[in-house]
Chains A and B, each alone.
Chain A
Amino acid sequence: EVQLVESGGGLIQPGGSLRLSCAASGFTFTNYVMSWVRQAPGKGLEWVSAISGTSLSTYYADSVKGRFTISRDNSKNTLYLQMNSLRAEDTAVYYCAKGQRGILAAGILEYWGQGTLVSVSS
């Protein structure tokens, strides 16, 4: 059974940093592109970032480029999102998601974690 469990969220002041983690199990982690998707309170879904199985390729939404860094440790089956220079508009539930195999299919988010809430406020 595929499981994705996020952690690391919390209350942080504007300008601060936070690192989210997503522990994966139930599949061969290194074989899949992984993504982060966020959802601001009462709003829709916004894709944030993705990383290839080998970490050779990383992708970011314009809204977080230069501030967020996605990474993964395949030996620990764990995905990370380092968030720096946080802003109020980064307040959201952050989900990690597993893509299907394939270049385009990696964008099909077939499994999601339960999410972790990041609140940016003074």
Chain B
Amino acid sequence: EIVMTQSPATLSVSPGERATLSCRASQSVSSDLAWYQQKPGQAPRLLIYGASTRATGIPARFSGSGSGTEFTLTISSLQSEDFAVYYCQQYNNWPPITFGQGTRLEIK
């Protein structure tokens, strides 16, 4: 099973600033990496797949990068609606599909 590890657990950033979230896989997942956003009381929403492809309707301020074992989600110029929990997930070698433990992005 591929273990996904996200850092940091909590990130405090001011509105308008840039946020950088990291995700590491225990073995290479090529570019088969997705990012999800989850707000309180809501289902997760797909943001990024293929490590860098934005899902339908996702604003351009969200960008993903990386391959192999190291990945980054960058949110430029944070908006109030971006404060949420973010999960990375690998689909290179499934089952099982595995998620990171999440990064909580909070307002500084």
Residues of A within 8 A of B (CB): 35, 37, 44-47, 50, 59-62, 95, 100, 104-115
Number of residues in B with C-beta < 8 Å to the partner? 25
Residues of B within 8 A of A (CB): 32, 34, 36, 38, 42-46, 49, 55, 87, 89-92, 94-102
Q: Which 4 A-B pairs have the closest CB atoms?
A: A107-B91, A47-B97, A112-B43, A59-B95
A104-B91, A108-B34, A109-B34 given; A47·B46 CB < 8 A: no
Within the complex, the shortest CB–CB distance from A103 to chain B, in Å, comes to: 10
CA distance A113 to B38 in the complex (A): 13
**When the two chains form their complex, are residues B95 and A109 in contact, meaning their CB atoms are under 8 A apart?**
no
A47 touches which of B38, B96, B100 (Cβ 8 Å): B96
**When the two chains form their complex, are residues B95 and A46 in contact, meaning their CB atoms are under 8 A apart?**
no
